A = this chain, B = another copy of it.
Amino acid sequence: MTVALERGAELDRSDPLRDHADRFVPTDGSVRAYLDGNSLGRPAVDLAQVMADFINHSWGSRLIRGWDEEWMDWPLAVGDALAAAALGAAAGQTIIADSTSVLIYKLARAALSLRSPERDEIVVDVDNFPTDRYLISGIADELGLRLRWIRTDADLGITPDLVARTVGERTALFLASHISYRSGYIADAAEITRIVHAAGAPVLWDLCHSVGAIPIALDNWQVDFAVGCGYKFLNGGPGAPAFGYVGARHQDQARQPLQGWMGHARPFEMGPGYQPHPGIRSFLTGTPPILAMVPLRHAIGMITEVGLDAIRAKSLALTDFAIELIDERLVPLGVRLASPRDHEHRGGHVTIVGDGFAEVKDELWKRGVLPDFRRPDGIRLGLSPLSTRFAEVALAVEEIADILG
Contacts and interface: CB of A to CB of B under 8 A. Distances in A.
A31 interface: yes
Nearest to A134: B274
Q: What size tier do the contact residues of chain A reach?
A: 35 or more
As for how many copies of this chain the complex holds, the number is: 2
B105 A98 contact: no
Interface string A257-291: 11111101001111111100000000001111111
Contacts of A71: 238-239
A240 interface: yes
A102 to B, nearest CB: 5
Contact of A260 (B39, B61, B135, B372): B135
Given A51-B55, A260-B101, A64 B25 contact: no
A66 B238 contact: yes
B64 A100 contact: no
A293 B237 CA distance: 12
Most buried by B among A131, A272, A290, A375: A131
A79 interface: no
Contacts of A134: 259-261, 264, 273-274
A48 B39 contact: no
A65 interface: yes
Which 6 pairs, one residue from A and one from B, show the smallest C-beta to C-beta distance?
A99-B286, A101-B260, A101-B286, A25-B60, A48-B52, A292-B292
Given A40-B66, A52-B52, 18 more contacts: A40-B67, A42-B60, A43-B56, A48-B48, A59-B238, A65-B370, A98-B99, A101-B261, A101-B286, A101-B287, A102-B258, A102-B260, A131-B262, A134-B260, A134-B273, A137-B273, A139-B257, A291-B292
19 contacts: A25-B56, A27-B60, A40-B66, A40-B67, A47-B55, A48-B55, A55-B237, A65-B365, A102-B285, A104-B260, A105-B258, A126-B272, A130-B271, A131-B262, A133-B274, A134-B260, A134-B273, A240-B289, A268-B375
A374 interface: yes
Contact of A133 (B105, B272, B292, B365): B272
Contacts of A16: none
A289 B57 CA distance: 23
A120 interface: no
Nearest to A236: B291
A270 B130 contact: yes
A242 interface: yes
A52 to B, nearest CB: 4
A99 B289 contact: yes
Most buried by B among A30, A40, A63, A71: A63
A21 to B, nearest CB: 14
Contact of A130 (B59, B105, B133, B264): B264
